Amino acid sequence: MEENREDILKEIIDHGSADEFRQFYESMEPIDFAQLITDYSEEELDQVTTLMDDDDLATLTEEADDDLRIRIAHTLDNKRLLIAFGYMQKDDIVDMLGDFPEGRRKEVINLMKSGDRKIITDLLKYPEESAGGIMTTAYMALRQDLSIGQALDKIRQIGPKTEVIETLYVVNDSRQLVGSVDLKILLSTSRTQSISTIMESSVISVEPEEDQEQVARLVSRYDLNAIPVVSKKKVILGIITVDDVIDVIIQESDEDMLQMGGVSREESLDTTLGESVRMRLPWLLINLATAFLASFTVDLFSDTISKVVALSAIMTIVSGMGGNAGTQTVSILVRRLAQGELSWDDCKKPFLKEIALGLIDGAACGAVTAAIVWPFYGNFYLGLIVFLAMIGNLLVSSVCGFLIPVTIKKLHWDPAIASTIFLTTATDVLGFFIFLGLATLFMPYLLA
Amino acid sequence: MEENREDILKEIIDHGSADEFRQFYESMEPIDFAQLITDYSEEELDQVTTLMDDDDLATLTEEADDDLRIRIAHTLDNKRLLIAFGYMQKDDIVDMLGDFPEGRRKEVINLMKSGDRKIITDLLKYPEESAGGIMTTAYMALRQDLSIGQALDKIRQIGPKTEVIETLYVVNDSRQLVGSVDLKILLSTSRTQSISTIMESSVISVEPEEDQEQVARLVSRYDLNAIPVVSKKKVILGIITVDDVIDVIIQESDEDMLQMGGVSREESLDTTLGESVRMRLPWLLINLATAFLASFTVDLFSDTISKVVALSAIMTIVSGMGGNAGTQTVSILVRRLAQGELSWDDCKKPFLKEIALGLIDGAACGAVTAAIVWPFYGNFYLGLIVFLAMIGNLLVSSVCGFLIPVTIKKLHWDPAIASTIFLTTATDVLGFFIFLGLATLFMPYLLA
């Protein structure tokens, strides 16, 4: 099916008319078409955009990913680009311009009509990952003194140009947000009543500087289909629609997961080799520094190890298990902290639980390990110290696995990035130290 | 603020009237109220539900999390519960009944009106994480032969009882889905035209057995605000709204992240100690088994280590770095595979890139390590073998970090769960083996 479509498209591009092309384009979703041409050369893209009418070009540009979008824009002269912009939502235009080289961005903005130019330059001021950066200006605001009938007429008239009408926002004469109306209720109310009689006056809104993660949290918590963005003076500036919120949620959770794994948030399977080296190697070198810390800890005990070589095999079990148990605790906390900060009060009970968990899991794993080590090496005391060291290190891993992410969050860093590195440093260094330290103390019994 | 609210609520519960209570409840969002009473005892919950009117009780129950919802239901007799159900969406009722003990579920269902009972028992048949399990039956379907005017009248009449009206679904006489209409377009079209003239006839839909993850992928890819669920014969059964899709996305990404960290998908900060032990310990014991594998590998070389004790300190660097580099590769693949399977064809280029990356990062980390180990221990050959072993182990980590998740996905398991355990087994065992093996080969030079 996909293969076929690719061939048909190539055929149309080489020999077809604009009409045939339009028919093909409209037989599928724009995003699926975008995927079809994602690997096209600049020349092929040029052929595609030449065949497309302006409306279709606009939908394609809205749905294409950043990379393809820029490459499409590259095939268009400024005049055509501005025509396509005429069909696009302002927030998509801003997204696109944000990725343009500075020179062309200025050029295009200067060619815009002054009204559009003002909106676009205002939107461009907000950081890309803020509420202002993801909001759209294509919302509908109804004045509170309208009657339901007047409101309906306005919806008929400008509804098709807005993104969401399920919830309508109500403003006063100074465009300050004073309420919201559910369209379902509006439709089933008599035309003569005033908007203000059916509006809900407490509306959840955000300011444009708000981080997009917080926006996503509000939308998902309160099951909103859009959230209005208002200035400090409560003047409505735009709305953020739920489809953009979904993109934020996916992006942020992908980022957390990649960062936990020690990979940059921007990396994907398609990242070039050079880029991947540049992004991953620094992280590995930081890990290397902490690995040396652990290694020096072992080196401190080289005398002990030289007397009982078996220690060098067993110590890796203790340190490794600390890392595993600690990662469990870290994972739970990073997930929880992604939903918002924890107060110290919230922490008390779960923290004590993690400590108890460290003791119990440590005793269980320690007992199993001891039960194997003792007969294998024929030394009871070797089993005993591995048992004690395992409890000690799983206790360390519980405490650190809990406190490290919470502390990092308090410092307003991202726990997903840095938690694991501090954790494994702690569990490796202390794991080796506890086990080899105990072995040094018990040395007379180990040699017996 | 929160503190105050808590005190006010306690005061109202102890001394207030139903009116005061309603005023308090309606001053906030139901989900915020739910959070306020989340730690209440059964007795306190009983006081709360006694003060609430049925409508408010229904909104509270819809917004409460599973645990609170069941505890609330426990304070209600069957009669009151059925009254509350009258105000609730069918999918929320089904969610709730799913968590009931079997006895009470049957009891309640038998007390329902036969129409409701049929809908509820039908919905209960779908797995909780399938499209059928999360769909709602409160959708609006318009017959295709209606005029726009008739459609609008129907929307006025039953709109308030449905969940989404931004998109309306169009059906034929056999209730088969034949198209969809954007409400914005419907509102701005003349009343006399027929629905079928403005409807979009290609509608993205899912069957009820579809996994909820796939539903979420479609909704986010095509920016839908709802997706219809249809039977094999295209008869519309329900719709899934975007707010439920957001919950799915958050739930699934949380699950992936927790599972990568070796924690069960159901665990959270509030899980009891006993539950946590039961969920985490088995995972730790599996890890322990693989740690023993690594430990036995080291033990094989105890002769070598006894001759050069420094090896026991350095070997931990090599194995640890393999684990770190491999986790980077695994993280990227698990994220990518969450979006769908990779064909072997898609894999070729990125796989070769990962191998090159392993070589480059291995050489870089190996060189740094050698530059420290050589002068520290005053032995050039020790530096040389750590350099070679690092390259070897980072190559192993690239290959395994790539192939393990891809293979697990091919076997239709979840790569998020099992990848890390296989990876660290490989990097530990082979890391130790390569390094200590090289050391054994180079022994004469190490002793010199």
User: How far is Cα B253 from Cα A253, in angstroms, rounded to an integer?
Assistant: 6
CA Rg value for chain A? 30
Burial letters B74-106, b for 16+ CB under 10 A, else e: ebbeeebbbebbeebbbbbbbbbbeebeeeebe
Q: Is B320 exposed, middle or buried (0-12, 13-18, 19+ CB in 10 A)?
A: buried
A270 touches chain B (CB under 8 A): yes
Chains A, B: CB contacts within 8 A come to 306
A258, A294, A325 ranked by CB distance to B316: nearest:
A294
Residue B130: φ, ψ to 5°: -105, 170
- Selected from 1.10.287.70, 1.10.357.20, 3.10.290.10, 3.90.79.10, the CATH number assigned to the domain covering A273-447 reads 1.10.357.20
Prediction pTM value: 0.78
A261 touches chain B (CB under 8 A): yes
CATH 1.10.260.40 corresponds to the domain A141-241: no
- B358 to chain A, minimum CA–CA distance in Å? 9
B257 three-class SS: helix
CA Rg value for chain B? 30
Q: Which residue type occupies A69? A: R
Q: Cβ separation of A331 and B261 shorter than 8 Å? A: yes
Chain A residues within 8 A of B334 when measuring between CB atoms: 257
CB A393 within 8 A of CB A319: yes
User: How far is Cα B429 from Cα A133, in angstroms, rounded to an integer?
Assistant: 48
Q: Domain ranges in chain A? A: 2-125, 141-241, 273-447
- Angle CA A297–A300–A303, to nearest 5: 135
Identify which of A399, A345, A391, A347 has the alpha carbon closest to the alpha carbon of residue A369. A391
DSSP state of B159: G
pLDDT per residue, tens digit, chain A (448 aa), is 445 888 888 888 888 888 889 989 988 888 889 988 888 888 889 999 988 988 899 989 888 888 888 889 889 999 999 999 988 888 888 888 888 888 888 999 999 998 889 989 888 899 988 999 999 888 889 999 999 999 999 988 888 888 878 899 999 999 999 999 999 889 888 899 999 999 999 899 999 999 998 999 999 989 898 999 999 999 999 999 998 999 998 888 888 878 877 777 778 888 888 888 888 898 899 989 999 999 999 999 999 999 999 999 999 999 999 999 998 899 888 888 877 778 888 888 899 999 999 999 999 999 999 999 999 999 999 999 999 999 999 999 999 999 999 998 888 888 887 788 889 889 999 999 999 999 999 999 988 6
Identify which of A65, A13, A206, A213 has the alpha carbon closest to the alpha carbon of residue A129. A213
Sign of the alpha-carbon torsion through B277, B278, B280, B286: positive
- Mutating which of A157, A258, A290, A328 best tests the B interface, going by the most B Cβ atoms within 10 A? A328
Provide the token pair at A370. 């001891």
User: How far is Cα B209 from Cα A141, in angstroms, rounded to an integer?
Assistant: 40
Q: Which secondary-structure segment (H or E) carries B155?
A: helix B148-158
Q: Cβ separation of B292 and A317 shorter than 8 Å? A: yes
Chain B residue whose CA is closest to A350: B269
A407 touches chain B (CB under 8 A): no
User: Which tens digits make up the pLDDT trace of B236-283?
Assistant: 999 999 999 999 988 888 888 788 777 777 788 888 888 888 888 988
Bridge partners, B236 (sequence order): B230
**What's the distance, Cα to Cα, between the start and end of chain A in Å?**
74
Q: Cβ separation of B253 and A258 shorter than 8 Å? A: no
Chain B residues within 8 A of A305 when measuring between CB atoms: 305, 309, 312
Burial letters B191-208, b for 16+ CB under 10 A, else e: eeeebbebbeeebebbeb
Q: Is the pLDDT of residue B1 over 50?
A: no
ipTM for the assembly? 0.77
* CATH dotted code for B2-125: 1.25.60.10
Q: Cβ separation of A222 and B356 shorter than 8 Å? A: no
DSSP B383-448: HHHHHHHHHHHHHHHHHHHHHHHHHHHHTTS-HHHHHHHHHHHHHHHHHHHHHHHHHHHTHHHHH-
User: Which tens digits make up the pLDDT trace of B53-75?
Assistant: 888 999 898 888 888 888 898 89
- A102 to chain B, minimum CA–CA distance in Å? 30
Average pLDDT, chain B: 89
CB B49 within 8 A of CB B14: no
Q: Cβ separation of A309 and B306 shorter than 8 Å? A: yes
Burial letters B287-311, b for 16+ CB under 10 A, else e: bbebbbebbebbbebeebbbebbbb
Q: Cβ separation of B249 and A245 shorter than 8 Å? A: no
Q: Is A160 exposed, middle or buried (0-12, 13-18, 19+ CB in 10 A)?
A: middle
User: How far is Cα B431 from Cα B448, in angstroms, rounded to an integer?
Assistant: 25
